[in-house]
Amino acid sequence: MTLLTPGNGAGMVMDRSLLGFDEAFDRTAADTRGQAAARVVISLLVFATGLTAMPLQVMLAWAAMFAVGDGALWIATEPRNQARRPVAFRSLRLAATALSTCAWVTIGLLWWFAPGGYSKAVTVALIGGVLLYMVRGCHRSLAQMLVTGGPPALALLYLPFTARTLDEMLGLLGSLTLLVGYAVSSAANAWQANRKLEATTLALVVKQREAEAASIAKGEFLANMSHEIRTPLNGVLAMAHVLDRAELGPREAEAARLICASGEVLDRLLSDILDLAKVEAGQLEIELAPFQAGDLARGVADLCRPKAEEKGVILAVEIDPAADRAWLGDAVRIRQVISNLLSNAVKFTAAGDVRLSLTAEPGPAGDARLRFTVTDTGIGFDPLMKDKLFDRFQQVDGSITRRFGGSGLGLAISRHLAETMGGVLDCDSRPGAGTMFWFELALPAAELAAEDEAAPAAAPGRGLRLLVADDHPTNLKVVEIILAGAGIEATLVENGLEAVTAHAAAAFDMILMDMQMPVMDGLTAVRAIRAEEQRAGRSRTPIVMLTANAMPEHIAAGRLAGADGHLTKPITPASLFAAITEACAAGEDEVAAAAVA
C-alpha cells in the first residue's frame, strides 16, 4: 500500500486498494467482458430507435463513440493483456468505461431534447439504466463506481434546469434528486458491504493458512516426538522381552513381565496419538482386502483372554455361521476397533463375564451388515454421559482414570475409524449393570485365495549374516543381543555410508537399516545399495527398515527407495524374527522368479 503525499512532490493519490484499482479490479474484468454481447444488442436497439427521432449523422457519431469505448473495453479486459501489463490495462479499462458511459449519457440527453411525447421517458430510462448498472455491477471497485456513476448522476441533476417553468423544474429536481440520491446511497452501501466481505474473506484465508501451517507443524512435531520416544523405548521393551525369555527366578520373571506390559502400554498410547493425528489431518487410509471375519473375532478374543483369566472373568465368543466367512474390508482397522472395545470391557469388569458376538444381516447384492457386539457385566456408566465417552482424552468420570488408567483416546479413535469405514459405533449402559458396545458396517462378500496349509513360521536359521545400520548405540546393542540369542551373526555400522561400504565389501543375507542417521541417511543408503547391486550384477539383498519413523509416508518412502519391509521400533524378539523370516522368504521368491524368467 503506497500513499503519495504533497511532501514528496507527487501530489495526493488515494490508496489503490481503496479505489479498487488493484487485483480485485482485475477479477471483475471477466464479468465486463461477458456482458459485451448484451451491450452490443442494446446499442443496436437504441440506434434503430434513435433513427426515428434524430438525424442519421447524429446516430452514426454516437455509434462510433460507443464502438470505440466498447472496443477499448474488450482489449483492456483480455486476460493476456492484464497479465502482461496490469496497471496500463487497468487505466485503459477505466478510460474506456468513462467513454462508454459518456456515450450512453449522451444518447440519453439527445433523447431529452428530441421531439415526441415519450422522449423524456426514454432519457430517464437510458441514464437511469446506467445508474442501475453502476449500483449492481460496479460496487467492487470505487474507481469504477465513480467513472460509471458520475456522468449519469450529473446529467440527471442537470435535466431539471432545462425545464420551461418553475413548477416543472421543482418537480423534476425533487424526483431526479431522489433517484440519484437513492442510487448513490445504494452504491455506497454495496461498496461498503463488499469491502467488509473482502476483509472477512481475507481473514478467513489467513486463518486457514495459519491452521494449515499449524497442522503441518503439529504433524512434524508428532513424527519427531514419536521417533524420539520410540528410540529409548525400543531399548527398554526389547531387553525386557529378552529377559522374559531367559531362565529367571519367580520375582525376576515377574519384574520382566511388568516391564514388558508397561512398555506395551506406552507403545499403544504413542500409536493412539499418531492415529488421532492422522484422523484430524484426514490422512487415515482404509485398505480393502479379503479377510475372514470369524477368525478375526476369535483372534482378538485370544489376545484378550489371558488378561480376562488373570482377573477371573469369563470371555466368551459367539459367531453367527452367516458371518463366519470372507468379507472385503480393512481387517487391520476393524481389528483395532474390536480390540479396543474388548480390552476396555475386560478392564472395566471386575467379575462376571465379557461376551463378543458377531452376526450378519444379509443385503440384497451379496453384501451384509456385520455387527460386532461386546457386552460385559462391569461398572457401566450414566447414559447421559455417553457422548462424552467418545470425546478425545475424556472419561465419563475422572475417578475412572485414577482407578483403571487409560488415555481416553481409544474410543474416540475407534469411532473415527468406524465412521471412516462407513460404519457406526455406539453403546448402551446403566451404572452398575454393565455395558454393551456395538460396531456395525456394511461389507461385500469376498473369497479368500486358496492356500496350501502352511507350517507355523519358523525362527530364522542359525548361521545367517546380517548387516545392521543404526546411529544409536542402544539400538545396535538391542539387535545384537536378540540376534546372538538366535545364533545369527550381526555386523554393526553407525550410518548409511558405512552400510553401503560394508555391503560392497561382503555379502549379507539381509540388511536392517535405520532411517535417520548422520553422514548418510537410511533411504539414501538403500538407493545406493540397489544401484550398486544393479551395476555389479549382484543378487538383491533383502532390506528391512528398522526405524522409529512410524508414519505411513515413512513406510511408503522406504518402499520407494527399494526396501522390502518396515519394522517400527520398539521391537520384540518375535517381531524382529518375523520381519527377518518374511524378508528372507520374499527374497528367495524373487530369486526363484528371476531364475525362471
Q: So what's the pLDDT on residue 1?
A: 37
As given in the structure block, the three cell numbers for residue 323 are 458371518
pLDDT band at 528 (very low <50, low <70, confident <90, very high): very high
Is residue 400 in a domain? yes
Clarify whether residues 479 and 572 are in a common domain.
Answer: yes
Is residue 204 in a domain? no
Q: Residue 565 class from Cβ within 10 Å (0-12 exposed, 13-18 middle, 19+ buried)?
A: buried
Q: Which residue has better confidence, 390 or 10?
A: 390
Clarify whether residues 440 and 493 are in a common domain.
Answer: no
Task: Choose among 294, 414, 395, 303: nearest CA to 354.
Answer: 303
**Any idea which of 178-187, 209-218, 220-229, 321-330 has the lowest mean pLDDT?**
220-229
CATH of the domain at 399: 3.30.565.10
Clarify whether residues 432 and 302 are in a common domain.
Answer: yes
Q: So what's the pLDDT on residue 533?
A: 93
Tell me what percent of the residues of the chain surpass a pLDDT of 90: 26
Clarify whether residues 301 and 237 are in a common domain.
Answer: no
CATH of the domain at 544: 3.40.50.2300
Confirm if 284 and 275 have CB atoms less than 8 A apart: yes
- Most confident option among 229-233, 290-294, 566-570: 290-294
- Most confident option among 4-13, 233-242, 575-584, 585-594: 575-584
Domain end point (choices 263, 280, 297): 280
Clarify whether residues 487 and 510 are in a common domain.
Answer: yes
As given in the structure block, the three cell numbers for residue 170 are 421543482
Q: Which residue has better confidence, 22 or 340?
A: 340
pLDDT band at 15 (very low <50, low <70, confident <90, very high): low
Instruction: List C-alpha distances in Å: 6 to 3, 16, 305.
Output: 10, 17, 86
Q: What are phi and psi of 583, to 5 degrees?
A: -65, -40
For the cut 50, the answer to whether the pLDDT of residue 170 exceeds it is yes
Is residue 320 in a domain? yes
Clarify whether residues 276 and 296 are in a common domain.
Answer: no
Q: So what's the pLDDT on residue 474?
A: 85
**Taking all residues of the chain, what is their mean pLDDT, rounded to a whole number?**
82
SS3 state at 447: coil
Q: So what's the pLDDT on residue 395?
A: 52
For the cut 60, the answer to whether the pLDDT of residue 396 exceeds it is no
Clarify whether residues 135 and 253 are in a common domain.
Answer: no
Is residue 191 in a domain? no
Q: So what's the pLDDT on residue 16?
A: 54
Does the reported pTM lie above 0.75? no
Q: What is the mean pLDDT of residues 229-253?
A: 78
Clarify whether residues 472 and 329 are in a common domain.
Answer: no
Is residue 217 in a domain? no
Domain end point (choices 444, 474, 490): 444
Domain end point (choices 413, 444, 475): 444
**H or E stretch covering 498:** helix 496-505
pLDDT band at 559 (very low <50, low <70, confident <90, very high): very high
Clarify whether residues 591 and 485 are in a common domain.
Answer: yes
* 110-144 exposure pattern, b = at least 16 Cβ within 10 A, e = fewer: bbbebeeeeebebbbebbbebbebbbebbbbbbbb
Q: So what's the pLDDT on residue 497?
A: 96
Q: What are phi and psi of 437, to 5 degrees?
A: -110, 145
pLDDT band at 370 (very low <50, low <70, confident <90, very high): very high
Q: Which residue has better confidence, 253 or 101?
A: 101
Q: What are phi and psi of 20, to 5 degrees?
A: 75, 25
Task: Choose among 139, 138, 150, 146: nearest CA to 190.
Answer: 139
Q: How many domains does the chain have?
A: 4
**134: which residues sit within 8 A by CB, 6+ positions away?**
145, 148, 149, 152, 183, 187
Clarify whether residues 401 and 531 are in a common domain.
Answer: no
Is residue 323 in a domain? yes
Domain residue limits at 239: 222-280
Q: Which residue has better confidence, 386 or 520?
A: 520
- Overall size of the chain counted in residues: 597
Q: So what's the pLDDT on residue 281?
A: 66
Is residue 450 in a domain? no
Q: Which residue has the cell 459367531?
A: 319
Is residue 195 in a domain? no
Clarify whether residues 538 and 560 are in a common domain.
Answer: yes
Q: What is the pLDDT of residues 335-348, one digit of tens each?
A: 889 988 998 899 88
pLDDT band at 319 (very low <50, low <70, confident <90, very high): very high
Clarify whether residues 424 and 329 are in a common domain.
Answer: yes
Q: What is the mean pLDDT of residues 490-516?
A: 94
Tell me what percent of the residues of the chain surpass a pLDDT of 70: 86
Q: What is the mean pLDDT of residues 51-66?
A: 90
pLDDT band at 548 (very low <50, low <70, confident <90, very high): confident
pLDDT band at 196 (very low <50, low <70, confident <90, very high): confident
d(CA 22, CA 2) in angstroms, rounded, equals 12
